[in-house]
Amino acid sequence: MTTVIVGLGTCGIAAGAGQTWKAVQARVPAGTDVALDRTGCIGMCYREPLVEVRDADGRRRLYGNVTADRVERLVAEVVTAGGEIDEWLVWTDDGRGSDPAFLKSQRRIALRNCGNINPERIEDYVATGGYKALAAVLERNDPDGLIQSVIESGLRGRGGAGFLTGMKWRFARMSPGAEKYVICNADEGDPGAFMDRSVLESDPHSVLEGMAICGQAIGSTHGIIYARAEYPLAIRRLNAAIAQAEAQGCLGDRVLGTAFSFHVKLKEGAGAFVCGEETALMASIEGRRGMPRIRPPFPAVKGLWESPTNINNVETFANVPWIVTNGAAAFAAYGTANSKGTKVFAASGKIRRGGLVEVPMGISIREIVHDVCGGIKDGRKFKAVQMGGPSGGCIPAELQDTVIDYESINKTGAIMGSGGLVVMDDATCMVEVARFFLDFTQRESCGKCTFCRIGTKRMLEVLTRITQGQGREGDIDLLAELADRVKNTSLCGLGQTAPNPVLTTLKYFRAEYEAHIANHKCPAKQCKALLRYSINEKCTGCLLCKKRCKVNAIAGERKVRHVVDQALCTRCGECFKVCRFGAVDRE
C-alpha cells in the first residue's frame, strides 16, 4: 500500500501543512490502496510543508514546499501515476534529492524517530523498538549497573550546564528519601530555540521511556514534565502519549508486568524564562513564585517537596533509551574526549537551510553553517553565530573552526546552552544584537538579586543609548564593569550568564561599539537613528521614492534629481528599498 505522510509539527503547520493535509484528504482517490498518515518534524523547516510518499515496496521520497495548491499535481503524478516531481524532491532513501547534504553530516539519536513515525500512535514507537530498553532495565533490575552504564556513555545534560547525567542520577539514588521525583525540564524559553518542542511533538514516547528508566535507576515512582504552555501541540501530544503508555502498561502501576510503578504528570508553565532554572522550576511546580534559591542543598538531595529530585531536559531523556539499547560504548564512540555523543541544534538566522540538526560532538561551527545549513543567504558574508540563547555569546567568523564541545565553546566566552544557534551575516549590527538579548534577559529577571534586577537594566539603558546615537565616552568601560558585577553576584544562571552577549561582542566586535559612540555611525547600517539617506546623481526623477515617502521628506520634479529633507526624514528606508537605479545612498 502506498502511504502519503504529511509533516504536522508546529513548523509545518505554520507554513501551511494543515491546509496541505486537508487537500491531500480531499484529493486521494477513494477506494484505492493509498493510506494517509501524519508525522512530526524531520528538521527541514526551511522546506515545509513536507510530504513523504512511501511506496508499497518501502521506497521513500520526500517532497518540499508542498502547499495546498500543489497537492493535486503531487497526487496525480506521484501517488497515482508512480512518477516523481524532480523540482520538489528533497530527499530519497537512495540518496537523491536537492538537499542530501542537510542530512549527510547528521547522526540522529535524540531525533531518531522525528519525522519517521506518527507521534500520536504508540504502536509506531513500539515498532521502532520503543519501550524495549525499559523492559530490559526492569528485567535486569540493576539500578547501579544502569547508572554506571549511563556514566560510561559520557552523556552530559543537554540543558546547558553539561553536568554528567549518570553522576546526577547516582547522587539522587544515594540520597535517602521516602519519595523521589524525576522531572523533565521542557521549559524551553530561548529565542531561536525549538529543539525540545520538536522532540515532544514528534517523539514524545522516547522522553517518557527515558524518564521511566531514570525512575527505576534512582528509585522514583513519580515523574513530572514541566512544559511551556506556549507549546499547545506538544502538550496535547504528550497528554495523549501518557494516556496511551498507561493503557499499554508502559507507565502507571506495575509497569510491563513488574513490581515497578511510575506515574507521569504534566505541569504547564506560564512562560517565565527563569523557570528554566531548576530551583525556580521546582518552586513553580509547588505553586510558589518561580524564583531560584541558594544551592546547596542541590535538588538531588533536597528538591521537589523537600525530596531527592533528578532534573534533566527533553533531549537528555530522549537519548537514554538509545544508550540502553545500543550500549554506552556506541554513544561514547561519537564526540570528543569530554563531550560524548551528539547534540541537537535549532539553526536559524541568515542561513539557506534553517531547521533542526543533530550532529556529532566535535564537528566545527564551519561545518554546521556551511555544509549542513548551506551557507549564508543572498551571497552575504558570514559574520558570527550566537550560541546558547540570551545566556550565550557571539562567536565571530574567524573562530568558525572551533569544534562543538562544552570546553571549546566555553573558551570563546559563549556557552553550549540548550542548543539555539543563530547565524548572522555582515549586515548584522552586533551592538544591536547585544541590546536585543539583554532586553530579553532584563525583562525575564525574577528580580531577586539586586545586580541582576538593576544591573541588567542599567546595561540595557547604556546599550539603547549607543544604538540611538547617544553613546558617551566611557560607556564601553561602564558596560564591562556592570557585566562583571552582574556575572559575579547573581544567584542563578540567568543573572550569571546574562552579560555574555555583551562581553563577547565587546571582545570580538569592539570596533563597532567605538564607531557607534565616537563617529555616530553603525558599520552594519542597521541602527535607524544613526542612518542618513540622500539622493545622488543617478536619480532620474522617476518620482517613485517621493510617492513612497509618507512624511513628504523628498522634494523634486519629474526628471529632476530629488532631495531629502533631513529634518523631516524618519529614516524608514522605504526610498532606499524602492529605488531601481541605485540613486539613494544609505550611510
566-576 per-position pLDDT tens digit:
999 999 999 99
Distance CA(138)–CA(549), nearest Å, equals: 71
HSE-CB of 486 using CA atoms within 13 angstroms: 32
- The alpha-carbon radius of gyration of the chain (Å, integer) is 26
Residues 130, 209 contacting (CB under 8 angstroms): yes
Cα torsion through 302, 206, 49, 89, rounded to 10: 140
CATH homologous superfamily of 2-104 equals: Glutaredoxin (3.40.30.10)
111 to each of 29, 116, 224, 298, how far by Cα in Å? 33, 10, 22, 30
Q: 550566537: which residue's cell?
A: 386
Tens digit of pLDDT for each residue in 209-246?
999 999 999 999 999 999 999 999 999 999 999 999 99
Tens digit of pLDDT for each residue in 521-538?
999 999 999 999 999 999
Residues 137, 264 contacting (CB under 8 angstroms): no
One fold for 2-104 and 531-586: no
Is 3.40.50.300 the CATH number for 430-519?
no
For the record, the C-alpha cell of 76 comes out as: 496525480
Contacts for 169 with CB less than 8 Å, ≥ 6 apart? 147, 150, 214, 217, 218, 310
Distance CA(463)–CA(436), nearest Å, equals: 9
Residues 105, 371 contacting (CB under 8 angstroms): yes
In CATH terms, the fold of domain 122-331 is: Rossmann fold (3.40.50)
Distance CA(531)–CA(586), nearest Å, equals: 7
Contacts for 554 with CB less than 8 Å, ≥ 6 apart? 535, 545, 546, 562, 563, 564, 565, 575
- % of residues, the chain, pLDDT over 70: 100
HSE-CB of 104 using CA atoms within 13 angstroms: 17
Strand partners, 376: 351
Q: Confidence class of residue 128 from pLDDT cuts 50, 70 and 90?
A: very high
What b/e sequence results for 477-487 when a residue is b if at least 16 CB atoms lie within 10 Å of its CB, and e otherwise?
A: eebbebbebbb
Distance CA(239)–CA(120), nearest Å, equals: 10
Q: What is the pLDDT of residue 568?
A: 95
- Interval 556-565 mean pLDDT: 94
400 to each of 299, 404, 501, how far by Cα in Å? 37, 10, 17
At residue 340, the 3 state secondary structure works out as strand
Listed residue (332, 389, 385, 388) closest to 361, CA to CA: 332
Across 314-427, the runs of DSSP E, i.e. the strands, are: 342-349, 355-360, 382-387, 393-396, 420-425
Q: 547617544: which residue's cell?
A: 470
Tens digit of pLDDT for each residue in 283-327?
999 999 999 999 899 999 999 999 999 999 999 999 999 999 999
Distance CA(42)–CA(64), nearest Å, equals: 12
Q: Confidence class of residue 510 from pLDDT cuts 50, 70 and 90?
A: very high
Residues 266, 231 contacting (CB under 8 angstroms): no
Q: What is the pLDDT of residue 416?
A: 87
Angle between helices 314-326 and 132-140 (to 10 degrees): 70
Looking at residue 94, its amino acid is D
CA triple 187-233-124, angle to 5 deg: 105
Distance CA(341)–CA(334), nearest Å, equals: 5
Q: 541588567: which residue's cell?
A: 456
- Interval 549-572 mean pLDDT: 94
Angular region, 75: left φ>0, alpha ψ -120 to 50, beta rest: alpha
- Interval 110-137 mean pLDDT: 97
Say whether pLDDT at 190 is over 90. no
Q: What is the pLDDT of residue 255?
A: 98
Least confident of 9-18, 385-394, 434-443: 385-394
Distance CA(28)–CA(2), nearest Å, equals: 11
Q: Of how many residues is the chain composed?
A: 587
Q: What is the pLDDT of residue 58?
A: 85
Residues 476, 503 contacting (CB under 8 angstroms): no
Q: What is the pLDDT of residue 99?
A: 80
- Neighbouring C-beta atoms of residue 321, cutoff 10 Å: 28
Is 3.40.50.300 the CATH number for 531-586?
no
Mean pLDDT for the chain? 94
H/E run at residue 534: strand 533-535
* Domain residue ranges of the chain, discontinuous segments joined by +: 2-104, 122-331, 342-425, 430-519, 531-586
Q: 513628504: which residue's cell?
A: 552
Q: Which CATH architecture has domain 342-425?
A: Roll (3.10)
Phi, psi of 227 (to 5 degrees): -120, 150
At residue 336, the 3 state secondary structure works out as coil
Tens digit of pLDDT for each residue in 442-462?
999 999 999 999 999 999 999
Phi, psi of 469 (to 5 degrees): 80, 15
- Interval 43-69 mean pLDDT: 94
Say whether pLDDT at 158 is over 80. yes
Distance CA(159)–CA(186), nearest Å, equals: 9
Listed residue (5, 29, 8) closest to 19, CA to CA: 8
Residues 425, 382 contacting (CB under 8 angstroms): yes
